[in-house]
Structure 1
Amino acid sequence: MERHLAAVLIADVVGYGRLSQIDEEGTRARFQSDLKEVFEPKIARHHGRLVKTMGDGLLVEFHSVVDALRCAVEVQQQKAKRNAVAPAEQRLDFRVGVNLGDIIVEGEDIHGDGVNIADRIQALAEPGGIAISGTTYDQVKSKLPVGYISLGEQKVKSITEPVRVYRVVLDPAAAGKTIGTRSNLRAWRIAVAAAAAVAFILAGVALWWQPWTLIWPPSPTERFAYPLPDKPSVAVLPFINVSGDTKQDHLAEGLTDDLITELSKVSGLFVIARHSVFAVRDTAGKIQDVAAELGVHYVLEGTLQRADSRLRINVKLIDALTGLSLWAERYDRQYVDLFAVQDDVIGKIISALAVKLSEGERDQLARIPTDNLEAYDYYMRAEQEGFLYSDVETYRRTLSFYQKAIDLDPGFANAHAGIARVAVDVWRNDYNYLWSAAVARKIAYDAAGQALKLDPNNARAHTVLALLQLVDGRETEAKESANRAVEAQPNDAEAVGNLALILAQTGSRAQAVAEMEKALRLDPTPAPAFQLLAGIVFYTARDIDQAIPLMEAARDALPNAEPAREYLAAAYVDRGERTPAARETEKLLQLFPDSNLTYYSYLYDYWREDDLRYHLTGLREAGIPEWPFSFAGKDADQIGGEDLRNLVDGKTWAGKHKNGTEFMQYFDKAGNTAYRSSNTNITGVVEVNENRLCEKFVGYFQDRMVCGYVYRNTSPEQRDMQYVHVTPQALKYFSLTN
C-alpha cells in the first residue's frame, strides 16, 4: 500500500438512472461514446491515468492539478459542442469534481479522503459544470483562462471537516476573477452578459455554444412551487439529533419549533409553519429542492447533540437561490445555555437578512419562556404529541406534560396556553370522555386567561379566547382577540387560519378567503386538521371549489372525524353533486348514527342566520334526518301539556339510551333536574313549553335551553320501557320509578 499527493478527477452523468429507464441500451452506448471520443483523448493529452469507470462515472488520477483542471475544462467545452447538435433526449450532461489531496494506492486502484472529497464536490457542480476543492483552487486560480464562484465551506458526507468549494466559470470573460458575495455576483453577471453580447455581435457563429448557460443556469425560482414573498422568506428545517439517543429527539424537534415560533413573531419575515417543514424532513433532494417545494429564499438547517449537561449545536443559514452559506455557527455549551443559543441564532438570522425589528418585537424576542429547563423539557414533549382529533390517551399524555411543566414553573405562560388549546378542542368536538363540555369550556377560559396574565402577547391564548368568544356570540371581542393573536405572531398559520374562521362566520367572506390563503401559504403542506379548518372557512365563504379538495384530503386522513363528513356532504350538494353527497351522509350516519339537523341547528345557533340556513339546507338535501337515529314519532303518541308536566314534577326516570348507555334523571317540582350516566353527572334546569320538554345544562349548547319531545313507546324496541324522549343529542327510552 502506497500513499502520495495527487490530483483526482471524478465525473458523473446527471440523471443517468432516469435516462436508462427511458432507453437503457442507448444511454449506455452514448456513455461509452463520450468515454472513448471525449474523456480518454483529453486524459491522455494531459498526462492523466483513467483508474476505472464506475457505472455512469469515471475516476482519473493526475500528477499535476493544473493538468487535471485543464482536462476537465476541455472535456466540458467539447461536451457542450456535442450536446448542442444532439436531440435533447440523447444528451448526456456530466458533473465534474477535482481535488488535490492525499490518496492511497492499492494495485491499480486508488481511494482515501482525496478521492472521497472529489466525489462529494462533483455533486455540487452544475450539470455541464465543474466544482473544485479549496486545495485545487489555491494552486490553479491564476493559471487557466477561467473564473471561479466561491461556495464557501461545505459540509460533505463522510468528511469530518468542512471543505472549501468553488465552481468553475468557463467563459473567457470571467478569466482570473473569483466572486463570493451576492453584490459582486450581480455586478459580474452584468459584465459577463455584456461581454457575451459583444461576442455575439462579433462572432454569431458561436451562438450554438451558449457558454452563458454554463455560468448562469435558468433562474431557480422558475421551478418554485410558489412565488417568493416580498419579504425575506425562511424555512427552519427540523434539526437532526446526532446524539445516538432517540430520547433526545424531542429536544431537536423542540429547538426547531421554538426557532419557528420566535421567528414567526417578526413581521419583516415570512416563516414556513412547523407541519410543512416536518413534512419535508425526509425529502432526499438538495436544499434547493426543499426551498423550491416550500417556496422560500432561505433555509436554516442544523444538528443537535446532547451528552449529559453538554450541548453541541451546528447551524447554517443557506441562500437557496445561490447555494451559498450566508452564516454558520458551531455552539459547544452547557445545556442550561440553550435559550442563549436560541437567542444568538435568531439574532444572527435577523442580522444576516437585514430585517428591522419594532420595539415590541424586540421585547418579545428577548422574553425567556421559562427559567426552569425541566419544565421546558416537559413542554416540548407535550408539543410533540399533537392533539387535534386525537385519541384519548394522546390527549391525556399531552395534558400531563403541560401540567408537569406548570407544576415546575407556575409562571410558564406557554404551558397554560397549551392546556387551553387542548381544552377548547375537547369542548368544540364534544369529547366527553375527558371532561364534560361545561368543564372543558371553563378550563379553556381559565387557562387562556392565566396565560394572558403571564404574557399579554401569547398568540395561542388569544386564539383560544377568540374561539370561545365567537361561540358565546361576542363577535366584536372575538375579532379583536383573533387580530391580537396575528399581531403577536404574524407568521403563525394557526393564528391566521383562526382569524379567517372568525371573519368567515361574522360575514367578512372576501377577507376570510384572503386570510385563509395566506395561512395556507405559510403552511403549504398542512396537517389534516388544518386542511379541514381551511375547507370549512372556504365553504362558509361560499368558495366551494377551494373547499372541497381540502375537506376531501382531511376526510381521507381523518376518516372518523365527524365535521369532515358533515361539511363535505353539504358542500357536494352546493355543487350539485348528489351522489357523493349521499355517500358522505351514509358514512356519517354509520359513524355517528345520532347525527341530526336539530342537533346542528342548536350547535351552530351562534352563526349568522343566512349561514345557518345555507348549511342546514345543504345537510337536509344530503339526507341528514331531523332527529337522532332518524326517529319520527307519531302525533297520536306525543305527550304534552299537563300530562307532560306530570311526567317531570318530582319524578325520576330510569332507562337506556339508544346506544345502550344506562341513565337516571331526577326532576324536582321547582324546575331543577339532575342527570347521571356512566360517564356524565350534571345538573340543570327544565321547563315544559306546551308539548316540548326544554332543558339547560351548563356548558352544553352555549348554556341555552334545548327542547325535545316525549312519546309513548309503541315500538318493539325496548318494549319494557314506557316512554321515548327525543332530544337533539339523544334518543332515550325510560320508565318512571316513582
Structure 2
Amino acid sequence: MGTAAVERKLAAIVAADVAGYSRLMGADEEGTHASFVAHLRELIEPKIREHRGRVVKTTGDGFLATFESVLGAVRCAVEVQRGMAERNASVPEPQRLVFRLGINAGDMMIDSGDIYGDGVNIAARLETMAEPGGICVSARVQEDASGRLDLGFEDLGERQLKNIVRPVRLYRVIFDRPEASAGAVATGTQLPNLSDRPTFAVLPLANMSGDPEQEYFADGISEDLITGIATWCRFPVIARNSSFVYKGRSIDIKQVGQELGARYVLEGSVRKAGNRVRITAQLIDALTGHHVWAERYDRELGDLFAIQDDITTSIAAAVEPEIMEVEEHRATTRRSLTGYDLVQRGNWHLYKFTPESIPEAQRLFTAAIEADPNYAPAYASMAYSKYISAQFGADFEATLQSAFEYARKAVALDEKDARAHMFFAQSSLWLRRHEEAIAAARQAIALNPSLAHAYSVLGYALDCVGEFEEALKTVAHSFRLRPHDRTVGRCIPAMAVAHYQLGAYAAAEETARRAVTLTPPYWLGHQMLAASRGQLGRKADAAQCVAEIRRREPEISRSAYSARLPFREAIYAQRIEEGLAKAGWSG
C-alpha cells in the first residue's frame, strides 16, 4: 500500500454479519444467499443511502458501511434492525436471517475504495459482541448519540478486544423497549447490567469425522449453542465471529479467556461414523484452567436439525447449573459484593435446602435488592426462598403470598427472565391459582427451553389439575435435561404423585424413596412414600414412614397432611388420605 494513495478520514463505521450463517447455508445454500441479497437491496442499501452513508463492501454474510455522522449511522442501524424484525415476522424461525451490528467512530484509511485501520477493526469487533438482532457501539458513539436520539444505552463495561491495544468500553443500544428514555444509560432503566456477570464463550466444535464436508454440521451445532445459551441462560455469551477465529487452532484456554473476556469456555468435537454421531463437550473455567463439566452425547443420525436442537438443549441445560454452582462458591470468597455476587452467595445458602440456611439466604437477597432495586434475579431468588420457607412450615399462607409478590415483581422488572416466570408459576400453584401457574410455567419454558426446573414446576401444576400422564412426560423431560442437578430431589415427588394417582403404587413407592434419600427435609417425599407403602400393604414399612412424619410434624392431622398439595379436585387428596390410613395413620 503506497502512502501517496492513502486518504485518511474521520467517519462512523458500521460492521454487520448474519448470526448462524453457516447453519443457514448448510440447510439451504441458494435460499439463504437469495434472502441475503434481497434484504441488502430492498432494505439495507436504501437505508444506508437515506442516512448519507455508503456501502464499502459486502461479504457472504455481512457488510461494511461508513457514514458522515454518528447520528446517521445509529439511526440507520436501528431502522435496519427494526426493518429486519418486520421482514422476519412471517418467516419460519430456522430460516430467518438475523444481523448483528457494530458501530464505531474514528479515524480510517481509504485505499482503492476499501477502508483500513483501528477504527474499522474496532467496529468489526463490536459487531461480534452484539446479540443477534442487536447493536453494539463504542463509548464515542454512545457519547455522540446520547440525548440526541430516542434510544437507550446499556453499559457493558470495558472489554479487551482482540488485536486492539487499549480496552474499549461497549454499549448495547436499547431500541426495542418503549420505556427506554432518550439517551438513558441502563443504570436508569430496568435492564440488568451484565458487566459483572460471568461471560461465556463457545469455541467451534472440532470436526473429527475426517470428512471436510461435515464441517457445516460441527459449525451448525457450535452456532446453535452460542444462540441457545445466549437466549436461555443468565450470562452474556461471546458472539460467533469472535469465537470462530480460533477454529482449527491449537489453543490455550486461559489465553482464550483473556482475549475474549470470557470466564468460561466450552469446547468439544463432533465425530460422524455411519449412521451415528458422537459429540463431546467440556466446560472449562478460563481463570484456573480447571474442568468444570464434561459429557459425551451419542445419537443416531436422522433429522440433522432435530439432532442439533436436541444436543443444544441438552448442553445448555447442563452447563448453566454447573456455572452457577461455581459462581455461588466464588461469591462466598469475595469481599466487595455487587448485587449479582450477593444473589450468588444467597443461592449458595438457599440450595442447601435446610431450615437453618434459608434466613441467611434471605438476608443476602435483601441486601442485593437494596444494592440494586431493579435487579430481577434478586427478587426471583427471594421468591424461591420464601416458597422453600413455606414448605418448611413457616406461616404457610402468608409466606406463599410473599413468594408470589416477589415473583410478580421479578417478572415486572424483566419479562424475559425465565426463572422469574417459573417462580411466579410455583407460588401461584400453591396459592391454588392453577391456570395462572400453568401459563407462567409454559412461558418460562418458551423463554428458556433448557430450564429443567421449569418442566418440574409445570409437572406439579399438571398433577394438581389431574393431568397425570402429561405430568409424567413433563417431569421425565426435566430429568433428562439435568440428571445430576442438586435440585432434582425436590422435583422427583411430582412423578411419585402422578404414579400414585394413576394407581401405579410400586412405581410411586420407588420414586418417593429416591426423593426422600436425595432431599430428606421435603415433606412430599415422605407423604408419597407412606401412602404408596400403605396401598401396597407393606404395613411395617408404612408404619415407620408414618412415625417419621409424626415425629417431624406432631401437630398435623392426617386429613390436613393429605390435602397439603394444592389439588383442584378434592378426590385426589382423598386418595392420598386413603393410603395414609392403610399405612396405619389413625387420625
TM-score range, shorter chain: 0.3 to 0.5
More helix by percentage? 2
More strand by percentage? 1
Higher relative contact order (CA 8 A, sep 6+): 2
- TM-score normalised by L of structure 2: 0.45
Larger Rg: 1
